[in-house]
Amino acid sequence: MTNIVGIDLGTTFSAISRVEEAGKPKIVPNKDGKNITPSVVEFLDDGNVLVGDEAKKSIGYNDENIVQEVKRSMGEDVTYEHFGKTHTPITISSMILKKLKQDFEAVYGEITSVVVTVPANFTNEAREATKKAAELAGLKLEHTINEPTAAALAYALQSESNLNGKYAIYDLGGGTFDCTIATIKDKNIDVETSEGVNKLGGKDFDEKITEIVSSKFKEATGQDLNPKEFTPNDAEDIKISLSSKDKAKARVAGQVLDVTREEFEAATSTLISKAEMSVEAALRNVGIDASGIEDVILVGGSTRMPMVVESLKKMFGKEPKLFGNPDESVALGASIYAAHNTDSEDLNPLQRQQMQNFSLTEAAPFYFGTIYHDTDLGKERVRNIINKDEKIPCEFSDNFVTRHDNQTQVDCSVTQAGADIDDPAMVKVIWDGLLDLPAGRPAGQQITITYGYKEDGTMTCSFLDVASGSVRDIDLTIGSDGGKPLEDDFDPDAFQVD
Ligand code: AMP
């Protein structure tokens, strides 16, 4: 049996979907029967780890042995020490993926093909880190897909009506926010742009609840709130209640404190404004105003908050669309994409039929450039080679020349930025190195730089000395800078994940 699977590896919750024999995607519950699994890992003193609901229940009680929200640190140099072992966001993510894989395979057998989702605004490093986590979890991951794109795919394939126009996908999950604009015509999806905030999600709203409760508790008792008596899970419960009620009760150390939706909305208005600014930036990128959007599609559990719907109604003048469960559509779309990338002979006729007649084009998530010396200005500048929102796959080249006679090396760099910036201090250098040149040549030798961005989200870069044919091809994957990644010492089988 082919098991074509999509995984939404979320900041706070993860989900797994499978394309059924009839060709439709369906969420596969974990072994506790839940459609979503908290992305929380708890280390136990016997060397094993708990992932999911059990680990989440320990938040506030065993925090020193709990790791959560690692997605916010993917691609960063962060480590966590537990029981004498060093972990990274990659190894922790691999444990979450392993739990999803294990629960899935206990019912359906081995996963044959898988796509894992990433936020549209994930950096190259964070994308690579996700791939590495999948590999450590024993998943053969060939593709990642951007979360809002996966949701758009699920929407387009499951929509009863004929879609035609530009759609905004508003994705506010547990930790990240993305707004993607895509042109959808029936089942053809063309991503135009994405803007987002990499650290904005349900967790930030939970923290505001804790702030409100903490100040009310202080007012009532004169004491500071003990985090063990009001945990982040308690804050989340109150937040969720406020999505359907005007008032919720916080019970802390014998005190009953009322929190109103009005208070919560006032405390979180800046968070909503941040999301609104990203939506406006996305509209600007595409050169349209809100009236040019056919429908706004809600994705992510945090879009259940009434203030999100209000904000969108105000911006777009119409009710945003909710289809299915907002925290499941990303995983559903990912499994559709996995089927789309599976050899058609591995699909049954029904699955093949479902996968026909749809196409997907992604857009480059950043500007990718290089730093060069501008002789007119007498200073270093950035020249972009791939522009943000360029259709993927793409390949672009640009020519530069050597500056000095007898120059035997060129400094090469790959930069990444969210905006079209030419100041090297304002961009992120994601790779730098040297290209060796033959000695004894005059200045003005042509160096051609070529960047490619592939459908699977990987980037290739090459720096070519045209006259000698000397070339520096760069693989922008983890550890390619020669450093030994910590994850190389990680033995996934050494941890029993439950
Ligand atoms: P996701 O990653 O899409 O599963 O979204 C998870 C986030 O959605 C978490 O921060 C949840 O607390 C939040 N969430 C789920 N349901 C609700 C709700 N009814 N009201 C407010 N937030 C919610």
Contact 208, 216 (CB under 8 A): no
Element (H, E) at 39: none
Say yes or no: CB of residue 13 within 6 Å of ligand 1. yes
Q: In angstroms, rounded to a whole number, what is the distance separating the alpha carbons of residues 472 and 336? A: 37
Determine the Cα angle at 54 with ends 53 and 59, to 5°.
Answer: 90
Atom of ligand 1 nearest to the CA of 300: 3
> For the packed helices 306-316 and 269-286, what is the interaxial angle rounded to 10 degrees?
40
pTM recorded for the entire structure: 0.93
Find the 236 Cα to ligand 1 centroid distance in Å. Answer: 8
Of 36, 17, 9, residue with least CA distance to 94: 9
- Sorted by sequence, the CB contacts under 8 Å of residue 255 that are 6+ apart come out as 217, 220, 221
Say yes or no: CB of residue 236 within 6 Å of ligand 1. yes
The best mutation among 302, 309, 322 to test binding of ligand 1, ranked by most ligand atoms within 8 Å of the C-beta, falls on 302
Q: In angstroms, rounded to a whole number, what is the distance separating the alpha carbons of residues 290 and 294? A: 9
423 phi, psi to nearest 5 deg: -90, 115
Q: In angstroms, rounded to a whole number, what is the distance separating the alpha carbons of residues 364 and 471? A: 25
Say yes or no: CB of residue 52 within 6 Å of ligand 1. no
Kindly give the residue spans of alpha helices, DSSP state H, lying in 287-425: 306-316, 329-340, 349-355
Find the 203 Cα to ligand 1 centroid distance in Å. Answer: 9
- Sorted by sequence, the CB contacts under 8 Å of residue 134 that are 6+ apart come out as 94, 97, 114, 116, 141
Nearest-CA residue for ligand 1 atom 16 is 301
E-assigned strand segments in 336-488 = 359-363, 367-374, 379-386, 391-392, 394-401, 409-417, 428-436, 446-453, 459-465, 471-475
Find the 332 Cα to ligand 1 centroid distance in Å. Answer: 17
- Tens of pLDDT along the chain (498 residues) come to 789 999 999 999 999 999 999 999 999 999 999 999 999 999 999 889 999 999 999 999 899 999 999 999 998 989 999 998 899 999 999 999 999 999 999 999 999 999 999 998 888 889 889 999 999 999 988 789 999 999 999 999 888 888 999 999 999 999 989 999 999 998 899 999 999 998 899 999 999 999 999 999 999 999 999 988 999 999 999 999 999 999 999 999 999 999 999 999 999 999 999 999 999 999 999 999 999 999 999 999 999 999 999 999 999 999 999 988 999 999 999 999 999 988 888 899 999 988 877 899 999 999 999 999 999 999 999 999 999 999 999 999 999 999 999 999 999 999 999 999 999 999 999 999 999 999 999 999 999 999 999 887 778 999 999 999 999 998 776 444 444 566 777 777 777 788
